[in-house]
Amino acid sequence: MELRRARIISITSGKGGVGKSIFLTNLAGIYETLGKKVLLIDLDLYNGVISTILNIHQDKTVYNFLEDLANNRFVDAKDYLYKYSDYIDVLPTCKDQRQGNKISPRFVEKVIYSFINNYDVILIDNSHIPTAISLIGHDLANIILYMISNDSLDIANSREILNIYDNIGRDNVEIILNNSFRAKQYFFSEKDISDVINRKINYVIKDSLYIRNIDKYIMDGKILVLNKKIDFVNSKDKKWFIDIANKLCEVTSDGEEKE
């Protein structure tokens, strides 16, 4: 029998606060509705917010995992995970930003490969700063999602960052434009942004997915697409989420996974 091997999707951006972590948790929620086992790994070691979004009070983090692994105290990889639901597990980021400086990049690959045969999808939330650790997350990814907002400084900065990805041979980067970041307050068209960054925009999050008072819902600790209190996902929006989730896992229209 062929072992399951997770599809690895890594997300990053050119600046903080563009919505990548919220998008990633919602993507995990969509995979749950599709019956897929998901692991969320927060590798944003200095500004990670997955725990905040999901209201996780973690005892162990990626730092504890790597520290124990380096010092031969490692017992069971599952001991370091937070079980969010029957389908979603979370490996939280460091509690203290100073711990991020103590993590050796050479152990990060071991962490990811500890779980690769236990999940259908591994979602990695990476820092917007291209650190050695975030680049390892990209190295292992099948797809790198780069989220960009409709902000002039973000767009200009992204052009330079994406050039770096080109120079180091990252040819699996796909661009996702977040137009729900500030609904009805964007100034550049999709073509304008594409021309500046010299890249095709692969996905666009529509402004219909803008949520007023989003912080109130985040405080509930529930993934937005799974939160029955929110009526923001109409049938078209949900189909968009499902389509992008399937495309990122290379699933065909008949439900079969591509080779």
Per-residue pLDDT of the chain (259 residues; tens, 9 = 90+): 345 689 999 999 998 889 999 999 999 999 999 999 999 999 988 888 899 899 888 788 888 888 888 788 867 888 899 999 999 999 998 887 788 778 877 778 888 888 999 999 999 999 888 778 887 888 889 999 999 999 888 999 999 989 888 888 888 999 999 988 766 667 888 999 999 999 999 999 888 777 777 777 777 788 888 877 776 556 677 788 899 999 998 744 344 455 4
| Cα 54 → chain centroid | 14
Give the chain's domain count.
1
Residue 259 belongs to some domain of the structure: no
Residue 54 belongs to some domain of the structure: yes
Residue 2 belongs to some domain of the structure: no
CATH number of the domain that 242 lies in? 3.40.50.300
Residue 253 belongs to some domain of the structure: no
The per-residue pLDDT for 185 is: 67
For residue 71, give its domain range: 7-248
Residue 132 belongs to some domain of the structure: yes
The per-residue pLDDT for 52 is: 87
Residue 17 belongs to some domain of the structure: yes
Among the residues of the chain, which ranges form H helices?
20-33, 50-53, 62-70, 97-100, 105-115, 132-140, 152-167, 190-197, 214-218, 235-248
Among the residues of 71-151, which ranges form H helices?
97-100, 105-115, 132-140
The per-residue pLDDT for 255 is: 41
